[in-house]
Amino acid sequence: MHLLHDPEAPAAELIDFDTFLKVDIRIGTVVSAEPFAKARKPSHILMIDFGPAIGTKKSSAQIAVNYAPDDLVGRQVAAVVNFPPRQIGPVMSEVLTLGFADDAGEVTLFAPDKAVPNGSRLF
């Protein structure tokens, strides 16, 4: 299992609060999802609405094992919105959709347990 997915891995090195605040994690609603057939691992291409300040952004997410595209539309997800865009095969991924590994090492999405306004920031 990859170290990032290993529940037995030790905590990462300590950081200060100002460093944490540099990572901008927001909530958005998936407005479209489609299979990403050219990805190396089972993935979907998501369009996520983060509200008027951030807008709608694209994400390539390795979540196809646990989620069908139709199950994602309308669902709120958390993502890092201030990483530089990253080329994933033919797709430019603009945000990093967040999740945790399940028992099989597959991604389970990270989201609030109640609806919150799109663009809400994690604190």
In this predicted model, what pLDDT tens digit does every residue of 3-28 receive, in sequence order? 466 778 899 899 999 999 999 999 99
Does residue 29 have a pLDDT over 60? yes
Residues 50-74 as b/e (b if ≥16 CB within 10 A, e otherwise) read: beeebeebbbbbbbbeebebeebee
Full residue range of the structural domain in which residue 11 is found: 3-109
Residue 39 lies in a domain: yes
- Percent of the chain whose pLDDT exceeds 90: 83
Please check whether residue 104 lies inside any domain of the structure. Answer: yes
Residue 120 lies in a domain: no
pLDDT (average), residues 80-98: 96
Alpha carbons 63 and 55: distance in angstroms, whole number: 22
Average predicted confidence (pLDDT) for the chain:
93
Domain assignment present for 122? no
Does the model's pTM come out above 0.85? yes
Whether 40 shows a pLDDT value over 90: the answer reads no
CATH code of the domain containing 93: 2.40.50.140
Residue 1 pLDDT > 50: no
Residue 121 lies in a domain: no
Q: For the chain, how many structural domains are there in total? A: 1
What is the reported pLDDT for 4? Answer: 61
Could you give the CA distance from residue 123 to residue 24 in angstroms, rounded to a whole number?
9
Contact present, 109 and 77 (Cβ < 8 Å): yes
The amino acid that residue 17 corresponds to is F
